[in-house]
């Protein structure tokens, strides 16, 4: 049975979506960020950066949200959440998932936690403004691709990249321009959000997406 260490509406949300989607038995372990439990010694033995999420798969321990999503997709290939290895579609999955985790997600961290990205208190507003502008540019790239094809990032079939995208869009309330206002993005995330698996995760975490 899988164990997912999570906190509501954190980076554990995408792996939570994937666990619900694959239908394998799992349990959620709350890491209480209100008391900074992600920095507890016991948790940091599993996740040395003291971040959320962490996945336990038997004797195997894995951190980093995108890595967990890929691992689960590969462990359950029959669910079709990742194309076969070595195919062009698999390459596109890597492209979009890495774009989301390496380009979009770090800018959210700057937008939400600007004080961690400058030692100059007077520079916090500039850090936030710069991150917000980069998010606009990144989402424009995503929206253009979804508007040309879609409805999902890989075309006609949902993948872990779409579940990851939904998580990031759910964080868009702090942006000047919410990404859910983009037509291609909105069509994709609405379809993903309507999936029974995603609805179960939303209900369990007690959150509102957008």
Q: Looking at domain 2-80+200-205, does it have CATH number 3.40.30.10?
A: yes
Confidence bin at 119 (pLDDT 50/70/90): confident
Owner of token pair 């509501």: 8
pLDDT value for 89: 97
Confidence bin at 114 (pLDDT 50/70/90): confident
pLDDT value for 100: 98
Ranges for all domains in the chain classified under CATH 1.20.1050.10: 88-195
Strand-pair partners of 29: 5
pLDDT value for 80: 97
Confidence bin at 131 (pLDDT 50/70/90): confident
Rounded CA separation 170/122 (Å) = 29
Q: What percent of the chain has pLDDT over 90?
A: 85
Task: Please give the model's pTM, rounded to 2 decimal places.
Answer: 0.95
Rounded CA separation 103/4 (Å) = 24
pLDDT, average across residues 165-188: 96
Is the pLDDT at 41 greater than 80? The verdict is yes
Is the pLDDT at 122 greater than 80? The verdict is no
Backbone angles phi, psi at 29, to 5 degrees: -115, 110
Both tokens of residue 165?
Answer: 């995208």
Ranges for all domains in the chain classified under CATH 3.40.30.10: 2-80+200-205
More confident residue, 78 or 112: 78
Is the pLDDT at 112 greater than 90? The verdict is no
Is the pLDDT at 120 greater than 90? The verdict is no
pLDDT value for 28: 98
Confidence bin at 61 (pLDDT 50/70/90): very high
Rounded CA separation 93/91 (Å) = 5
pLDDT value for 54: 98
Question: How long, in residues, is the chain?
Answer: 210
Q: Are 119 and 62 in contact (CB under 8 A)?
A: no
Confidence bin at 150 (pLDDT 50/70/90): confident
Is the pLDDT at 92 greater than 90? The verdict is yes
How is domain 88-195 classified at the CATH fold level?
Glutathione S-transferase Yfyf (Class Pi); Chain A, domain 2 (1.20.1050)
pLDDT value for 67: 98
């Amino acid at each position: 049975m899988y164990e997912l260490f999570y906190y509501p509406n954190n980076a554990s949300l995408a792996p939570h979506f994937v666990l619900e989607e694959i239908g394998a038995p799992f349990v959620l372990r709350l890491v209480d960020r209100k008391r900074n439990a992600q920095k507890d010694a016991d948790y940091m033995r599993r996740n040395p950066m003291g971040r959320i999420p962490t996945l336990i798969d038997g004797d195997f321990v894995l951190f980093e949200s995108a890595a967990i999503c890929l691992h689960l997709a590969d462990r359950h290939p029959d669910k079709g959440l990742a194309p076969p290895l070595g195919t062009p579609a698999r390459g596109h999955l890597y492209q979009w998932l890495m774009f989301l985790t390496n380009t979009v997600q770090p800018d959210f961290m700057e937008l939400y936690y600007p004080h961690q990205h400058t030692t100059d208190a007077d520079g916090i507003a500039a850090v936030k403004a710069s991150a917000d502008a980069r998010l606009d540019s990144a989402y424009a790239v995503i929206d253009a691709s979804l508007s040309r094809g879609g409805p999902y990032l890989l075309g006609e079939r949902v993948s872990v990249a779409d579940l990851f995208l939904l998580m990031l869009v759910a964080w868009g309330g702090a942006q000047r321009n919410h990404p859910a206002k983009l037509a291609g993005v909105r069509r994709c995330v609405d379809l993903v959000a309507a999936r029974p698996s995603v609805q179960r995760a939303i209900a369990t975490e007690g959150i509102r997406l957008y």
